[in-house]
Structure 1
Amino acid sequence: MAQSFHSKQLQTNQQAKGFLIKASIVLCSSFAVGLTGCSTLPKHGVEPVQYAKDIDTSETSLAKIITPLRQQNPKLTGFHVLNDPLEALAARLRLIDKAEKNLDLQYYIWDNDKVGALALHAIIRAADRGVKVRLLIDDNNAKKMEGILLALSQHKNIEVKLFNPYRFRKYRAMDMVLDLKRINRRMHNKSFIADNEVALIGGRNMTNQYYNVSDSYQFSDVDVMLVGAAVDDIVNSFDDYWNHEYAYSVQSIVSPEQHRLRYEGLKEQLEAHYQQATVQNFLNLTAKSHAFDQWLNHNIQFDWVKAEVVKDSPDKIKSKAKKEEHLNFQLINHLEKPESNVDLISAYFIPEKQGAKILSTLAKEGVEVRVLTNSFKANDVAVVHAFYGKYRKELLKNGVQLYEFLPTPDKRDLNKNTDELATKAKVNMKGLSRSSLHTKLMALDEQVFIGSFNFDPRSAYLNTEIGVILDSPSLAKTIHHTMDENLNKYAYKLKLDTNNHIYWQQETPNGPVIYRQEPEMKWWQKAGMKFLSWLPLEGFM
């Protein structure tokens, strides 16, 4: 089943990609006068191959805690799910502070905002005490950070690489014209590894929006903290990307002449940011997230289960990854066929014909299939909604339950730390008036997937991703129960009327509210979504 699913998806996608690829070739031919070519990466010398396991971490504090646990649970993985955004940030900051030998950090987005700057400040402190830091960032969102990353790399213990970089540093649109096939593929992985012993993976980037700090937008997301067997696979995956030909040291592609900031200046800026009263108040709040410290003190235990890390090969960026090196292929092979429940949460959900068929078949066979994705207003990439919308009626007809995340959270049900965050850390509460689902999670009977992978063509065929499958009946049961308790609070439920027209039902304290038209979508937006859905662009979403 996995092979036929994969091949059909690829065939459909090839047709979708043809339109933009041909357009790129035409534009390339038109604009290439005086330029070197359409698919030329920046030149860089041969960089030394590095492997995390070459660093002996056996005597670190983390290893001394984890090694006995691994011996008690051979071939198993311990996990702790990080739902709360403050706990997720606290775990990152504490891991940086706890690291003694090495830190390997891989992200799609890292901003110089409150969260990003706090982490950079902690990284410099770690490097000052001798920790070797490798920071690997996708170049798609790195333009505004490249001066900071260049300055950071001047520390003797910090190395920074940009993955799949743009050739034209200032005029990036030129790359979109001349090298679309490569530039359109991005490293979407998120992994955080301390001393080769503890790893975090999931959907959160290193920006304010993922930790309830932004004054404009909030992403609802989830990570999982791992120890044991799965960490070895995540470490190896990081090495594969770090040593890949598309990973460039920031010094090789960013000119210091274009950026005045140097390491000492960066350190002063980060220290000044760290000393701000609002930042200190925020840090005090993160310090109240005790889960990580309780684990360090042996007051709580990880759940130990069989786990499988699923990950894309970095060669996927070159369109040269083998079928078995694709995460979606691994995901299908390692997940057992569900018999009772499927709960799928995906920020961007475009099942394509074959995916819709699989979900519909399961629902017809009596499996409860529930999908939670973003509503139009909640979606931060609105164009995705045009292609997701094409599948809604078919899924509903076949018994799949669809829910769409509300763009405005219920103020009575905000995270318990929100009021304190707003008053003490002076975070503007208007930022919590717009919320978006960013989680990528699936629970099938007694298995759970958590990672960076969205259930859409972009994650399946263009971007690289990473995730983990946990054989955990207790976690799966918790997710199923949480969906039971909270779907009606935070999402519209989609239904079909007697005329097979979709309507949206929202539960409120005063009873259900019915929307016959798509909530918070104006007529011209509806027309735009319809027009976009006709274009052969689904394979790029």
Structure 2
Amino acid sequence: MSRAKRWKTVLPAALGLAAAGFALMRANRLPRRDVPSEPPARHRGEPPLARAASERAARNPGQSGVHLLTDGVDAFAARLLLARAAERTLDLQYYIWHGDRTGTLLLEAAFEAAQRGVRVRLLLDDNGIAGLDRVLSALNDHPNIEVRLFNPFRIRYPKAIGFAVDFGRLNRRMHNKSFTVDGAVTIVGGRNIGDEYFGAGDGALFADMDVLAIGPVARDVETDFQRYWDCQSAYPAQQILPRVGARQLAKLRSRASIVERDPSARRYVERLRSLPLVREFVAGELDFEWTEVELISDDPAKTLADLDHERLLAGKLDGAIGDPHRELAIVSGYFVPGEQGAQQLCALARDGVQVTVLTNGYSATDVALVHAGYAPWRKVLLEAGVRLFETAAQVRDAPSKKQRREGNRLGIGSRLRASGSGSFAALRSGASTIHAKTFTADRERVFIGSFNFDPRSLKLNTELGFIIHSPLIAGQVADAFETIVPDAAYAVTLGPDDALTWSCGTGSERTVQRNEPGMGSLDHLLVGVASHLSIGWLL
């Protein structure tokens, strides 16, 4: 074929591809942000929740009260009960919100609150709301509800197209999680909204962890929510989502009714009836640890550009945690230390600090690539004296495929899942998978929030959490590494031949194996290949 004929064949195809790419870029371009005037919250005297919080805070000046929510079902029930008790405001900020049982019930609770006259604001990362566009659009039409989407996609389906044409922007997400009622009571921690985050009904300490807080730090969360709500990455839903009719709200209410009657949701519904949290709180009977609590969070501008370290949560965490002298314990479902993090942890261990890390093993993680980013650093950390523990999935307790299908059928969203909630996420209720993000230092202070020890939390996603200056709580978490963790996770060590070994249990019940739990030959090959790729900054 002559050169001229070749050009006649190739040129139209090239021009067509260029035109298609240009059209996609235009379709994914964000509109100019148009924010309507916001009505003030209704003031009808001090609501019971706010009054109870004020009375208890007055007896503990300068301190905040914290109550840990380690049980998944209780963590869900606490949110739903507080939403039902709201009288003035309901501010909800989340990275992932699924349209499953728990997600449906909480959206219905938000709608019911709005019907009572409560001002409801939902600030949701747009990467984690698969299948909810129509429902959120319908809720946004309610005069007392406003929905904003953080760093939104213009191409609604499939959203992956947006990554192809605007990866630099869309790869940065809002990972914050907060649930604030009447500006007085807040829940902050590691849980998103979805069944897998509330399924650990056995009270396992590290499945996930939230903090219910009152006092000055609750007002700080309200202020921080406003900062994100007003930032230029938070777009009013009406600018992004398609308009829908009122029938979508009827569908939401119908689904919520079905979910509440479904046998598989019975434990959630029963816990709502039996958990006395709100009654005890209003009566002044709920136990709180009163102490100094600091809210730390990223500047929302982090999703627009790289920021100086001191403006990042990581920089604030460095200052708040300080330099541990005796102990540092890290719980992170996604642990990718990278060269800098590994060097810091190794230096502490060599200086005599007992550094301990609990993370997910390969069989328990829901993102296999994260394991590829973590595995290469194990020997380096172990040689320096860092203790490593890894969970392993207990598949025999996991829900069946049929149960997972039924769970989705009862929800209002899609089976498509956002990042961080992949194929193993549905196993969390029956596996030893952890999603908590907790750091303790010297048994004196503890961080609980959304920050993972990985490059994504460090550089790409916005994060939020509490520094709690409480020897009681920090000591409880640190003690778990000596009592609970050895029986619930594998201790990773170096054998005489410098090979990794995995052991679990104590005494005569201790088992030791040289093959990595849950990994076959193909898994080793894939993780090995991925670990040599330059993708650590994405994980």
CA contact (8 A) 1:57 1:63 kept: no
Q: Per-residue deviation at 1:336?
A: 2.3
Which residue does the alignment assign to 1:61?
48
Give the whole-Å Cα distance in 2 for the aligned partners of 1:325 and 1:159.
Answer: 29
Moved more, 464-473 or 498-507: 498-507
TM-score, structure 2 normalization: 0.85
| 2:67 pairs with 1:80 | yes
In structure 2, do the counterparts of structure 1 residues 57 and 136 end up closer, same or farther at CA, with 3 Å as the change threshold?
farther
Structure 2: which amino acid aligns with 1:46? D
Which residue does the alignment assign to 1:193?
180
Q: What does 1:104-503 correspond to in 2, within 5 Å?
A: 104-212=91-199, 220-256=207-243, 261-276=247-262, 279=265, 282-319=268-305, 321-408=307-394, 432-445=429-442, 446-503=444-501
In structure 2, do the counterparts of structure 1 residues 254 and 284 end up closer, same or farther at CA, with 3 Å as the change threshold?
same
Kindly provide the CA deviation profile for residues 264-308 of structure 1, in whole angstroms up to 9, marking residues without a partner as x: 343333334334455455311343333443232222331111121
CA contact (8 A) 1:51 1:239 kept: no
Q: What does 1:31-70 correspond to in 2, within 5 Å?
A: 33-35=21-23, 37=25, 41-48=29-36, 50=38, 56=43, 59-70=46-57
Give the whole-Å Cα distance in 1 for the aligned partners of 2:429 and 2:295.
Answer: 34
SS of 2:518's equivalent? coil
CA RMSD in angstroms, aligned pairs only:
2.7
| 2:526 pairs with 1:540 | no
Give the total of aligned pairs.
493
Q: Per-residue deviation at 1:36?
A: 6.8
Structure 1 unaligned spans of 5+: 1-28, 412-428
SS of 2:296's equivalent? strand
Structure 2 unaligned spans of 5+: 1-16, 398-425
CA contact (8 A) 2:177 2:188 kept: yes
Q: Per-residue deviation at 1:46?
A: 2.2
Kindly provide the CA deviation profile for residues 60-96 of structure 1, in whole angstroms up to 9, marking residues without a partner as x: 1112111122223233211011001121111101110
In structure 2, do the counterparts of structure 1 residues 232 and 142 end up closer, same or farther at CA, with 3 Å as the change threshold?
same
Which residue does the alignment assign to 2:407?
none
Q: Per-residue deviation at 1:249?
A: 2.0
TM-score, structure 1 normalization: 0.85
In structure 2, do the counterparts of structure 1 residues 327 and 30 end up closer, same or farther at CA, with 3 Å as the change threshold?
farther
Kindly provide the CA deviation profile for residues 409-430 of structure 1, in whole angstroms up to 9, marking residues without a partner as x: 897xxxxxxxxxxxxxxxxx98
Q: Per-residue deviation at 1:435?
A: 3.9
Which residue does the alignment assign to 1:24?
none
Structure 1: which amino acid aligns with 2:105? L
CA contact (8 A) 1:39 1:182 kept: no
SS of 2:131's equivalent? helix
Give the whole-Å Cα distance in 2 for the aligned partners of 1:229 and 1:486.
Answer: 33
In structure 2, do the counterparts of structure 1 residues 508 and 408 end up closer, same or farther at CA, with 3 Å as the change threshold?
farther
In structure 2, do the counterparts of structure 1 residues 486 and 99 end up closer, same or farther at CA, with 3 Å as the change threshold?
same
In structure 2, do the counterparts of structure 1 residues 51 and 203 end up closer, same or farther at CA, with 3 Å as the change threshold?
farther
Which residue does the alignment assign to 1:517?
515
Structure 1: which amino acid aligns with 2:311? E
Give the whole-Å Cα distance in 1 for the aligned partners of 2:320 and 2:45.
Answer: 31
In structure 2, do the counterparts of structure 1 residues 528 and 520 end up closer, same or farther at CA, with 3 Å as the change threshold?
same
In structure 2, do the counterparts of structure 1 residues 281 and 83 end up closer, same or farther at CA, with 3 Å as the change threshold?
closer
Q: Per-residue deviation at 1:263?
A: 2.4
Structure 2: which amino acid aligns with 1:184? N
In structure 2, do the counterparts of structure 1 residues 298 and 409 end up closer, same or farther at CA, with 3 Å as the change threshold?
farther
CA contact (8 A) 1:138 1:162 kept: yes
CA contact (8 A) 2:52 2:283 kept: no
Give the whole-Å Cα distance in 1 for the aligned partners of 2:60 and 2:275.
Answer: 27
Sequence identity of aligned pairs in percent? 35
In structure 2, do the counterparts of structure 1 residues 58 and 329 end up closer, same or farther at CA, with 3 Å as the change threshold?
farther
Q: Per-residue deviation at 1:39?
A: 10
Give the whole-Å Cα distance in 2 for the aligned partners of 1:151 and 1:302.
Answer: 38
